[in-house]
Amino acid sequence: MTLEAKANLSRKEELIMNVQSAISNRELLDQQERRESNARSYPRRIPLAISEAEGIYVTDMEGNKYLDCLAGAGTLALGHNHPTVIEAMEQVIRDKRPLHTLDITTPVKEEFVNELFSSLPEGFRHRAKIQFCGPTGGDAIEAALKLVKTATGRQSILTFQGGYHGATHGTMSISGNLGPKKNVQGLMPDTHFLPYPYTYRCPFGIGGEESHRISSQYIENLLDDPESGILPPAAMIFETVQGEGGSIPAPIEWIREMRRITEERGIPLIIDEVQTGIGRTGELFSFEHAGIVPDVFVLSKAIGGSLPLSVVIYDRDLDAWEPGAHIGTFRGNQMAMAAGTATLKFIKENHLVAHAGEMGQRLLHSLKELQQEFPEIGDVRGRGLMVGVEIIDPAKPHSASGSQPANPAVASGIQRECFKRGLILEVGGRHGAVVRFLPPLIITEEQVDEVISIFREALIASLAG
């Protein structure tokens, strides 16, 4: 390239930057509102247009900088534009690798599978098979449901209250949230919802440790009752930490009991690791906290190194599919596989799984200290860097299990006040009253402390308002 061409390019880039800086967040948000579907969600609560992003920070069109503790709903394990991930993407292009291959294999794909399989629990890696799915976690959950129904010849699915598994027809059917279902007819039949051990709002009105024991006893009795009304199930599915349901971690002993109960009865166990997987909870896979191995688990979000990718990992005994039983044009996303391989390697080589556990404990400890100061914080919970703060109305009476009514107005106010102060958080859970923390795994001690400081200021401002 000539010096003149380079100078022209430089002037062109400068012009583009000047044009971008002249555009406000409001202009782009208004344009988005005019043209995008009414189904859009995040911009309603997080009103910004992102211009740049690096690490844990994003910068909007007006130069405002934010700590991003949403991180693509847990997708960005290494934060935005991590150098390792960018280098892996660029290497694919430099080497003229194919970007799209359907399910035809490539060296990039085989390296990804090697890295992923080497990360599996030792007793499972030699029995594992993998199915590449469409680019979303929802598609991989759909594939998992088809897999177990094909393998068992059964049709009933056991799922849990408060669970979230996607927004497709089948995944919506096995998710607890009623809102998206009310206008959609003909959802998947033979879906049975079981009580999840939500200690703070115990479904049995008891609370505490006894909650998960009763849940286990109830489920075991249900499966052994010849008049339960439920035919032998094709599978049980759950998240070890309910994400959209409010960052609710299942007790470790309960997870072990679900594995025992399903294994003894020949029921395949599916663990949804879409949000919990790849180090987020302080283990590479969240089921490892309980020392169990499921029959099937699903990965998406972080597994693609920030790019769209989803897979199902399962025991080879379930591989009863015929060719083409589950397909998808974009299941061969080579750049996502390269980025995913680089992400997995970086996480392991830099001990980010342990780091996520340590930073999660620091975050939980600080939030529990705030709980002593503010009665509006009803519960603080989580596992690793998947943390939730449930906001309640302390003036209202307690339930039988000791909890008080949710206060979604204050939770939303906290989110707004955090945003004003440069912190992006999400709200979710029952009644939208749980403030959720999902920062990248690279978050530092100083950044955790900054997050807590902003959260405290926002809480005070929200209560004052």
pLDDT in tens, 366-390: 999 999 999 999 999 999 999 999 9
Q: Are 382 and 360 in contact (CB under 8 A)?
A: yes
C-alpha to C-alpha distance for 151 and 143, rounded to whole angstroms = 12
Report residue 192: phi and psi, to 5°. -125, 120
Position 401 scores a pLDDT of 78
Residue 4 has pLDDT above 90, yes or no: no
For the record, the structure tokens of 79 come out as 């934060």
- Quote the CA–CA distance of 299 and 243 in Å, as a whole number: 14
Tell me the C-alpha distance between 336 and 338, whole Å. Answer: 5
- What's the CA gap between 244 and 107, in Å, rounded? 36
For the stretch 417-443, pLDDT in tens is: 999 999 999 999 999 999 999 999 999
pLDDT at 228 over 70: yes
* Average confidence (pLDDT) over 353-364: 98
pLDDT at 9: 53
pLDDT of residue 298 exceeding 90, the answer is: yes
- Look up tokens 């583009």; give the residue: 16
* Mean per-residue pLDDT over the chain, rounded: 94
Instruction: Tell me the pLDDT tens digit for each residue of 252-295.
Output: 999 999 999 999 999 999 999 999 999 999 999 999 999 999 99
**pLDDT for 15 beyond 50:** no
pLDDT higher than threshold 70 for residue 18: no
Q: What is the DSSP letter of 262?
A: H
Does residue 56 register a pLDDT over 80?
yes
Residue 91: alpha-carbon gap to chain centroid = 28
| Averaged pLDDT for residues 64-71 | 97
Nearest in space to 200 (alpha carbons), one of 249, 239, 158, 257:
249
Q: Quick one: what percent of the chain has pLDDT higher than 70?
A: 95
E strand intervals along 211-369: 233-238, 241-242, 248-249, 269-272, 296-299, 311-315
115-127 tens-digit pLDDT: 999 999 998 999 9
Could you tell me if 187 and 173 are in contact, meaning their C-beta atoms sit under 8 angstroms apart?
yes
pLDDT in tens, 236-255: 999 999 999 999 999 999 99
Residues 341 and 113: their CA atoms lie apart, in Å, by 8
Angle (deg, nearest 10), helices 334-349 and 107-118: 30
Question: Is residue 14 predicted with pLDDT exceeding 80?
Answer: no
Please give the pLDDT value at position 16.
Answer: 47
Q: Give tens-digit pLDDT for 155-187.
A: 999 999 999 999 999 999 999 999 889 889 999
DSSP β-bridge partners for residue 193 = 159
> In this predicted structure, what is the pLDDT of residue 6?
46
Backbone dihedral region for residue 377 (phi beyond 0: left; psi -120 to 50: alpha; all else: beta):
beta
* Domains present along the chain, CATH in parentheses: 23-82+352-464 (3.90.1150.10), 87-349 (3.40.640.10)
> What pTM was estimated for this model as a whole?
0.94
Please compute, for residue 330, the number of CA atoms within 13 A of its CA located in the half-sphere on the CB side.
13
d(CA 122, CA 47): 45
For every residue of 107-149, DSSP letters joined together read: HHHHHHHHHHHHTS-HHHHTTEEEEE--SSHHHHHHHHHHHHH
Q: Over 90: is that where the pLDDT of 11 sits?
A: no
Q: How far apart are CA 70 and CA 45, in angstroms?
A: 12
**Token output for 77:** 């394990």
Q: Under 8 Å CB-to-CB from 384, ≥6 apart: which residues?
A: 279, 280, 281, 282, 283, 356, 357, 360
At 303-319, the pLDDT tens digits run 999 999 999 999 999 99
- 208: confidence class by pLDDT, cuts 50, 70, 90: confident
Give the model's confidence band at 359: pLDDT under 50 very low, under 70 low, under 90 confident, else very high: very high
Residues of the chain with pLDDT > 90, as a percent, come to 90
pLDDT band at 207 (very low <50, low <70, confident <90, very high): confident
Tell me the pLDDT tens digit for each residue of 253-264.
Answer: 999 999 999 999
Tracing tokens 């024991």 back to the chain, one arrives at: 213
